[in-house]
């Protein structure tokens, strides 16, 4: 167990291609940090720098109290779970788990004890004699997990470990990984492009974009108070609606927007913060024409066209309303649910 | 399984379509092979006046002939030596080239060139390099105190033909090994690195076992090559000498048949060679089916 400190970490590839810029993260002992961002945002590069699979060109990386910038991956006391699992195809499950321990010269009985223990924890005990190709995707995933945890490392690194699984298994494994991580209390760095995975698993979330950190915080902090337009759009599904503030000022009374900074160019409203029906006291009144109603069982998504606005607005309701497509609907938005942003900097204003 | 039935307008058309392949096989394989088989049961006197049918006498004489047994041994050493040398050097090159990023393609091109050289030319090339009077290698070896002469030393001669034969085959093996290395997912190597395996250990515990299907395939191909395709190399360098030290089976067939005109014995030897090829091919196909998949 150890903390991990990323101090001004940066990566520049040969030919002056910049992948990661000025990343500062303090991962506390036992914490699960999720790196999330779109493809090409540098999250995998960052993880591989921590693992030692990519050289660090700027800044310092500490695991525990040691600076590990120039240590080999094996010397960093970390274990990694790969997206394609990277199981050794010619070895049995048992040998896959034991390989790292054998390389470290651990005694046979101790190896045996740890492998059996991990196998039991992950319910792969009956597969120990099989080769990876005889296992299903979920079982391989467990073996990959097992290989990481038999080592009893200071930290786990996960590189999109669930993206090769089908949707149902993904949810199941997500829960299992999180439970296991909490039980073992091992510091973890988890990379994903799936914002739902990120929100549900993280102690703290790091949103990356273009090789830079957009925001760090707990999932709820990021959700309820995104600091940049990018985070606002990336976290949450359906994405936050961005309404031009000029449009909004033309629609509602000035005093309803008194608390919004005058220089705000955009005002973000989450789809679930718009309630169908008459305006409540002290709330904004908006109306639009229903283009499409998407019922989704427990909830529904309404796609609306607001008069004078080019983008459609999405509203999420906790029920399926009895309304006809093409009709005009009225919504009310509480004043404190507005997220004002500046266009130029992309930053939140209040 | 459903079988597909074709209907032809003429009942001779399918035979006509098959004919070219069948004719080629008949003329260039079945006919000479059966001639060899027939010849192997015959014996002629020195003047070619009388031909006797002697059943398996040619074969039993061969296996009682110390020269033939020596040739078997020489072939064994030669094909193992050639296979081992060409495969190990090819693997070494493939591993080194695989580590390159930008220069990989140009190295690959250069390393494949020797494959385009005819066996006889390759033989002559190495014959010049190792020529005891004018060659560069004997000159350098003399500096180390070794007196190279493949005209008098059987060992030197064997080393020479092995090098000459292996050199050509390295290109072929190299391409297969390189393709094999590139098909190993990088993440496996990285996982092993994180698992604490040194570069050396990673190669022998991860990479090499994953290459084993290719290694096995190449081993069979190389043995077949060394046994049957190296006539030109031997002919251009040592001509089987000195004192039969490099007289491999294929070369002996030629010497006994076309130089010494002992057609019966020569035919019997080629029948034995044919049997060896059949066995090797069966082994190859039997095991190639069981390739490891990953």
> pLDDT by residue (tens digit) across B37-53?
888 888 777 777 777 77
A133 in B contact zone (CB under 8 Å): yes
**Residues in Cβ contact with A58 at an 8 Å cutoff, skipping those fewer than 6 apart:** A8, A9, A10, A11, A12
Q: What is the pLDDT of residues A306-348, one digit of tens each?
A: 888 888 999 999 988 888 888 999 888 888 888 999 988 888 9
pLDDT over 60 (residue B294)? no
Interchain proximity B196–A51, CB inside 8 Å: no
Question: How many whole angstroms separate alpha carbon B42 and alpha carbon B236?
Answer: 31
Q: Which of B9-23, B111-125, B279-293 has the lowest mean pLDDT?
A: B279-293
- CA distance, residue A91 to nearest chain B CA (Å): 9
B163-172 CB burial, b ≥16 within 10 A, e <16: bbbbbbbbbb
End-to-end CA distance of chain B: 28
Q: Are A234 and A38 in contact (CB under 8 A)?
A: yes
Question: How many whole angstroms separate alpha carbon A154 and alpha carbon A173?
Answer: 22
A79 in B contact zone (CB under 8 Å): yes
- Residue A44's CB is within 10 A of a number of other CB atoms, namely 21
Query: Which 8-state DSSP code applies to residue B116?
Result: G
Mean pLDDT of B151-168: 86
Size of interface A-B (CB pairs under 8 A): 63
Residue B291: band (very low, low, confident or very high) from pLDDT cuts 50, 70, 90:
low
| SS3 letters across B225-286 | HHHHCCHHHHHHHCCCCCCCCCCCHHHHHHHHHHHCCCHHHHHHHHHHHHHHHHHHHHHHHH
Question: How many whole angstroms separate alpha carbon A238 and alpha carbon A126?
Answer: 42
The tokens for A140 are: 């391989």
Contacts of A104 in chain B (CB under 8 A): 196
- Please report the pLDDT score of residue B28 as a whole number: 92
Q: Are A161 and A82 in contact (CB under 8 A)?
A: yes
Interchain proximity B191–A83, CB inside 8 Å: no
- CA distance, residue A330 to nearest chain B CA (Å): 54
Peptide bond connecting B221 to the previous residue in cis, omega within 30 degrees of 0: no
Contacts of A84 in chain B (CB under 8 A): 185, 187
Question: How many whole angstroms separate alpha carbon A312 and alpha carbon A303?
Answer: 6
Interchain proximity B188–A103, CB inside 8 Å: no
Give the chain B residue nearest A79 (alpha carbons): B194
A51 in B contact zone (CB under 8 Å): yes
Q: Are B83 and B216 in contact (CB under 8 A)?
A: no
- Please report the pLDDT score of residue A116 as a whole number: 92
Interchain proximity A90–B294, CB inside 8 Å: yes
- Please report the pLDDT score of residue B290 as a whole number: 60
Taking only residues 267 to 306 of chain A, the set having a beta carbon closer than 8 angstroms to any beta carbon of chain B reads: none
The tokens for B174 are: 């190299």
> B66-291 has which fold?
MetI-like fold (1.10.3720)
Interchain proximity A99–B194, CB inside 8 Å: no
Q: Are A335 and A259 in contact (CB under 8 A)?
A: yes
| Cα dihedral sign, A287-A293-A298-A299 | negative
- Please report the pLDDT score of residue A33 as a whole number: 94
- Please report the pLDDT score of residue B164 as a whole number: 87
Arithmetic mean of pLDDT over chain B: 85
pLDDT over 50 (residue B293)? no
- CA distance, residue A103 to nearest chain B CA (Å): 6
Q: From first to last of its 350 residues, what are the pLDDT tens digits of chain A?
A: 689 999 999 999 888 888 999 999 999 999 999 999 998 888 999 999 999 999 999 999 999 888 999 998 888 889 999 998 899 999 999 999 999 999 988 999 999 999 999 998 888 889 999 999 999 888 999 999 999 989 889 999 999 988 888 888 889 889 989 998 999 899 999 999 988 899 999 999 999 998 899 999 999 999 999 999 999 999 988 899 998 888 888 877 777 787 888 888 889 999 999 988 888 777 888 889 999 999 988 899 999 998 888 889 999 999 888 888 889 998 888 888 889 999 888 889 87
Contacts of B195 in chain A (CB under 8 A): 74, 99-100, 103, 147, 151
A43 in B contact zone (CB under 8 Å): no
**Residues in Cβ contact with A313 at an 8 Å cutoff, skipping those fewer than 6 apart:** A241, A243, A274, A288, A303, A304, A305, A306
Question: How many whole angstroms separate alpha carbon A47 and alpha carbon A56?
Answer: 11
Q: Are A290 and A302 in contact (CB under 8 A)?
A: yes
pLDDT over 60 (residue B114)? yes
- Please report the pLDDT score of residue A1 as a whole number: 67
Contacts of A189 in chain B (CB under 8 A): none
Residue B253: band (very low, low, confident or very high) from pLDDT cuts 50, 70, 90:
confident
Interchain proximity B194–A104, CB inside 8 Å: no
Pick B243 or A22 by higher pLDDT: A22
pLDDT over 90 (residue B58)? no
Give the chain B residue nearest A95 (alpha carbons): B205
Percent of chain B with pLDDT over 90: 22
- CA distance, residue A175 to nearest chain B CA (Å): 24
Contacts of B214 in chain A (CB under 8 A): none
The shortest CB-CB distance from A89 to any of B194, B196, B294 is to B294
- CA distance, residue A149 to nearest chain B CA (Å): 12
- Three-state SS at A126: helix
Q: Are B250 and B273 in contact (CB under 8 A)?
A: yes
Give the chain A residue nearest B195 (alpha carbons): A100
Give the chain A residue nearest B186 (alpha carbons): A86
Give the chain B residue nearest A86 (alpha carbons): B188
Helix locations, chain A, DSSP H: 43-51, 93-103, 108-121, 137-150, 167-184, 195-201, 219-224, 229-234, 245-251
- Please report the pLDDT score of residue B55 as a whole number: 80
Where do the structural domains in chain B lie, given as residue ranges? 66-291
Interchain proximity A83–B294, CB inside 8 Å: no
Interchain proximity A74–B195, CB inside 8 Å: yes
Interchain proximity B195–A90, CB inside 8 Å: no
Determine the Cα angle at A238 with ends A248 and A223, to 5°: 80
> What pTM does this model have?
0.79
- How many residues in total does chain B contain? 294
- Three-state SS at A280: coil
Pick B275 or B290 by higher pLDDT: B275
Going by their DSSP bridges, the two strands A78-81 and A58-63 should be labelled as unpaired
Interchain proximity B191–A78, CB inside 8 Å: no
**Partners of residue A286 on adjacent β-strands:** A331
| Cα dihedral sign, A94-A183-A156-B294 | positive
Interchain proximity B193–A74, CB inside 8 Å: yes
Closest residue by Cα to residue B248 from B258, B260, B257, B239: B239
A100 in B contact zone (CB under 8 Å): yes
**Residues in Cβ contact with A164 at an 8 Å cutoff, skipping those fewer than 6 apart:** A83, A84, A85, A137, A141
Contacts of B294 in chain A (CB under 8 A): 89-90, 133
Interchain proximity B190–A53, CB inside 8 Å: yes
**Partners of residue A13 on adjacent β-strands:** A17
- CA distance, residue A89 to nearest chain B CA (Å): 6
For testing contact with chain B, the best of A45, A50, A53 (most B CBs within 10 A): A53
- Three-state SS at A313: strand
Contacts of A51 in chain B (CB under 8 A): 190, 194
Residue B289: band (very low, low, confident or very high) from pLDDT cuts 50, 70, 90:
low
- CA distance, residue A266 to nearest chain B CA (Å): 44
Contacts of A106 in chain B (CB under 8 A): none
pLDDT over 90 (residue B286)? no
The shortest CB-CB distance from A103 to any of B197, B210, B294 is to B197
Interchain proximity B292–A89, CB inside 8 Å: yes
Contacts of A151 in chain B (CB under 8 A): 195
Pick B41 or B288 by higher pLDDT: B41
Question: How many whole angstroms separate alpha carbon A190 and alpha carbon B292?
Answer: 33
């Amino acid at each position: 167990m150890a903390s991990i400190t990323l101090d001004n970490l940066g990566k520049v590839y040969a030919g002056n291609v910049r992948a990661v810029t000025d990343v500062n993260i303090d991962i506390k002992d036992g914490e699960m940090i999720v790196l999330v961002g779109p493809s090409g945002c540098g999250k995998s590069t960052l993880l591989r720098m921590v693992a030692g699979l990519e050289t660090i060109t700027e800044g310092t990386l500490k695991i525990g109290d040691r600076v590990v910038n120039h240590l080999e991956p094996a010397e960093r006391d970390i274990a990694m779970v790969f997206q394609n699992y990277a199981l050794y195809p010619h070895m049995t499950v048992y040998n896959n788990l034991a390989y790292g321990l054998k390389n470290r010269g651990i005694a046979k009985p101790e190896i045996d004890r740890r492998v059996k223990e991990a196998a039991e924890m992950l319910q792969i005990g009956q597969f120990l004699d099989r080769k990876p190709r005889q296992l299903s995707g979920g079982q391989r995933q467990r073996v990959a997990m097992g290989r990481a945890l038999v080592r009893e490392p200071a930290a786990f690194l996960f590189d999109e470990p669930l993206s090769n699984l089908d949707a149902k298994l993904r949810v199941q494994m997500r829960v299992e990984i999180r439970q296991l991580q909490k039980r073992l209390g091992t510091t973890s760095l988890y990379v994903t492009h799936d914002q739902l995975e990120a929100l549900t698993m993280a102690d703290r979330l790091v949103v990356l974009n273009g090789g830079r950190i957009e925001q760090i915080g707990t999932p709820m902090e990021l959700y309820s108070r995104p600091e940049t337009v990018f985070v606002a759009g990336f976290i949450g599904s359906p994405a936050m609606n961005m309404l031009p503030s000029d449009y909004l000022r033309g629609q509602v009374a000035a005093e309803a927007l008194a608390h919004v900074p005058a220089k705000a160019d955009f005002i973000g409203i989450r789809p679930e913060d718009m309630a169908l029906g008459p305006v409540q006291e002290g709330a904004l009144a908006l109306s639009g024409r229903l283009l499409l109603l998407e019922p989704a069982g427990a909830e529904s998504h309404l796609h609306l066209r607001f008069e004078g606005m080019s983008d459609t607005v999405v509203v999420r309701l906790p029920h399926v309303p009895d309304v006809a497509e093409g009709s005009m609907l009225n919504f009310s938005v509480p004043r404190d649910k507005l997220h004002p942003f500046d266009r130029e900097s992309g930053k939140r204003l209040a | 399984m459903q079988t597909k039935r074709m209907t032809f307008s003429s009942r001779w058309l399918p035979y006509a379509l098959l004919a070219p392949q069948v004719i080629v096989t008949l003329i260039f394989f079945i006919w000479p092979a059966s001639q060899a088989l027939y010849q192997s049961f015959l014996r002629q006197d020195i003047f070619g006046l009388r031909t006797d049918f002697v059943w398996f006498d040619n074969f039993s004489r061969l296996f009682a002939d110390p020269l033939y047994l020596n040739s078997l041994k020489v072939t064994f050493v030669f094909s193992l030596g050639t296979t081992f040398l060409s495969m190990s050097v090819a693997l070494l090159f493939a591993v080194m080239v695989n580590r390159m990023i930008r220069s990989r393609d140009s190295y690959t091109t250069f390393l494949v060139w020797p494959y385009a050289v005819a066996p006889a030319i390759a033989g002559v090339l190495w014959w010049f390099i190792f020529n005891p009077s004018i060659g560069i290698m004997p000159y350098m070896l003399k500096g180390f105190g070794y007196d190279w002469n493949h005209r008098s030393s059987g060992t030197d001669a064997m080393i020479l033909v092995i090098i000459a034969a292996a050199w050509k085959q390295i290109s072929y093996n190299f391409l297969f090994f390189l393709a094999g290395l590139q098909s190993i997912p990088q993440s496996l190597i990285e996982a092993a690195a994180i698992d604490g395996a040194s570069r050396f250990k990673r190669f022998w515990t991860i990479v090499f076992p994953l290459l084993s299907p290719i290694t096995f395939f190449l081993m069979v191909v190389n043995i077949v090559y060394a046994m049957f395709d190296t006539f030109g190399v031997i002919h251009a360098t040592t001509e089987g000498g000195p004192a039969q030290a490099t007289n491999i089976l294929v070369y002996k067939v030629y010497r006994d048949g076309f130089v010494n005109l002992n057609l019966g014995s020569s035919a019997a030897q080629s029948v034995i060679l044919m049997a060896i090829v059949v066995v090797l091919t069966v082994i190859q196909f039997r095991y190639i089916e069981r390739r490891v998949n990953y």
